[in-house]
Amino acid sequence: MKTLNQAYQDFNFDALIGEQLRGSAQAINAYVECCQRHAGQHQAALLWEGKNGESSQWSFEQLDDASGKLANYFKSLGLKKGSCIAGLLPRTPELLITVLAAWRIGAVYQPLFTAFESKAIEHRIETAQTQLIVTNADQRPKLNSVKAPHILTVQADQASQDADFWTVLEQQPAGCEPEMLTFDDHFLMMFTSGTTGLAKSVPVPLKAVLAFKGYMTHAVDLRAEDSFWNLADPGWAYGLYYGITGPLSLGHSIIMDERAFSVDNALQIIRKYKVSNLTGSPTAFRMFFGFKEKFDASIKAHLRVVSSAGEPLTPEVIHWFNHDLGVNIYDQYGQTELGMVIANHHALEHYKKVGSAGYAIPGHRFAVLDKAHQEVELGGVGTLAIDCSQSPLFWFSGYGGNNRKSFVGHYYLTGDTVRLNEQGGVDFIGRADDVITTSGYRVGPFDVESTLLECEEVLESAVVGKPDPERTEIVKAFVVLKPQYAASAALMQQLQDYVRSRLSKHAYPKEIEFVANLPKTSSGKIQRNLLKQQEIAKAENMQKAV
């Protein structure tokens, strides 16, 4: 196995273009990279599981044919290079066909997550100036109050004015020449998750395809013989970047499960397809751990590597995967704005520290900056930044294409607080606005949350700073218990004592509130900011009452 340092030394941007792409920096098309170049291999491109128990396989040739027909329909409406086409669809073949058809004509594909309601949809399509939305009968009512020039519906109601998806395809020829673009042209229109304020647009240029391949190759270690499944929804960055674009660009099949996520559904897929390479979010893997008794020894026979992104993994989840399932699960770090840029790499040899996000993926360089935007030394704490001047695979140009408030000099500031550890890797502490200051100490919520999750009774936890006149803030935990356990004062004391003994005397939660569930973004990230705002509002109301 190659070492990480060797991969850094061997990295050559120009050579990579020739090795990894059918196109070039001046002539590239995402549909060509993710479909056309692999047609003729006579292998499955899509393995699909429907919500009603149906299943199907689609070859690259079949997707090539269907996307050509839909692309010709798009062109008949006047859509062309640079037009924005949105998909408000569940994980179905129609979603993948829409993505490929949009790319084929040089259009920009915009994902709309199916949990969005009309207000969230309206903001996104107005900002992106979306020309067409492809949806289905279930999602269609959300668009009744939304202004969109064109709507194409799967199983359109005959009484509506919508064109029907499959009827349209039957009326079009399959041949459609791809529109060649450059590395700087956009092919995706993403939006940040919007945990604070309105979601901001993140246009993604075609250069990113090369970066996506790097993550799949080095960090995920996707091999030709792997059965690969990304649990994330393609309505969000991780699912679209690395559940569709990345693997298909490597000629690898993908799995789509239309059903809502559950441990039982996931286990069925993992067993049916003998999944060997699994990626997803810590939320999903915490749920696996919460129902670990459902995972039998048969899974060990085929599960080879697991990758996690979105939030740091907790030690007990890592331990369970490693010791009970015999597989390494590694933390990896990225953002919608960056893709994945830091990782514990499955395909490269380097020191792996539990709880660390790892090291820069080849083609990137990170730095940890202090408040004066100077790089800290080993052991220092500060803001994680990407050194754009030494990151040839870096592709983000700013929100909306030109809003560069997150850039300082040649650095992009992620807004995450991290520690530059002794090995030169990154230990995640928290979002800059998540870090708790209590009695002069800075406490990362993740440390407390992961310690609470070591307790048998705890299914999920979220930790925030609660305003306190004496200590600035106190550590408060919101805890979701497993179904078989009941909240009590005795259990609260037990959890507090455990954290105090395991973590530190200043970092244990002085307050614990037992809740039925935690607020999360649609992509599954815990919204600590909502919990914190709730505590701030309570404190302000108490002051007014006094």
pLDDT value of residue 546: 62
Token pair 């492809």 is found at: 134
Query: 16 in a domain, yes or no?
Result: no
By mean pLDDT, which of 57-61, 244-248, 279-283 is the weakest?
Answer: 279-283
- Write down which residue in 184, 206, 228 finishes a domain: 206
Structurally, the chain folds into a number of domains equal to 2
Within a 13 Å sphere around the CA of 267, how many CA atoms are in the beta-carbon half? 16
Answer yes or no: is pLDDT of 311 > 60. Answer: yes
Over the stretch 280-300, which tens digit does the pLDDT of each residue have?
A: 988 889 889 989 999 988 999
Q: Would you say the C-alpha torsion 184, 190, 195, 197 has a positive or negative sign?
A: positive
Answer yes or no: is pLDDT of 197 > 60. Answer: no
Nearest C-alpha neighbor of 134 from the set 120, 104, 155, 119: 155
Answer yes or no: is pLDDT of 42 > 90. Answer: no
- Contact (Cβ atoms closer than 8 angstroms) between residue 417 and residue 432: yes
CATH number, domain containing residue 91: 3.40.50.980
- Name the pTM for this structure: 0.85
Triad 305, 306, 311: Cα angle to 5°:
155
Query: 285 in a domain, yes or no?
Result: no
Q: What is the mean pLDDT of residues 18-45?
A: 95
Reported as a pLDDT band with limits 50, 70 and 90, residue 521 is: confident
Query: 84 in a domain, yes or no?
Result: yes
Average pLDDT over the chain reads 93
Query: 220 in a domain, yes or no?
Result: no
Query: 34 in a domain, yes or no?
Result: no
Contacts of 53 (CB under 8 A, 6+ apart): none
Q: What is the mean pLDDT of residues 334-340?
A: 95
pLDDT value of residue 145: 87
Query: 408 in a domain, yes or no?
Result: no
Query: 278 in a domain, yes or no?
Result: no
pLDDT value of residue 195: 40
Q: In angstroms, what CA-CA distances link 44 with 61, 195, 441?
A: 9, 37, 54
Over the stretch 420-436, which tens digit does the pLDDT of each residue have?
A: 999 999 998 877 777 78
Q: What is the mean pLDDT of residues 164-180?
A: 97
Q: What is the mean pLDDT of residues 476-490?
A: 96
Using a pLDDT cut of 70, give the percent of the chain over it. 97
Reported as a pLDDT band with limits 50, 70 and 90, residue 440 is: low
Kindly state the helix (H) or strand (E) to which residue 502 belongs, with its residue range.
helix 489-502
CATH number, domain containing residue 537: 3.30.300.30
Pairing between strand 426-431 and 411-420? antiparallel
Structural domain including 533 reads 441-545
- Write down which residue in 206, 239, 271 finishes a domain: 206
Q: If you write DSSP's letter for every residue of 316-329 in order, what string do you get?
A: HHHHHHHHHS--EE
Q: What is the mean pLDDT of residues 178-201?
A: 84
Q: In angstroms, what CA-CA distances link 77 with 121, 149, 246?
A: 22, 10, 29
Kindly state the helix (H) or strand (E) to which residue 136 belongs, with its residue range.
strand 132-136
Query: 492 in a domain, yes or no?
Result: yes
- Write down which residue in 206, 227, 261 finishes a domain: 206
Answer yes or no: is pLDDT of 511 > 50. Answer: yes
Phi first, then psi: what are they for 228, rounded to 5°? -110, 135
Answer yes or no: is pLDDT of 194 > 50. Answer: no
Q: What is the mean pLDDT of residues 395-413?
A: 92
Answer yes or no: is pLDDT of 364 > 90. Answer: yes
Backbone torsion region of residue 431, taken as left when φ is above 0, otherwise alpha when ψ lies between -120 and 50, otherwise beta: beta
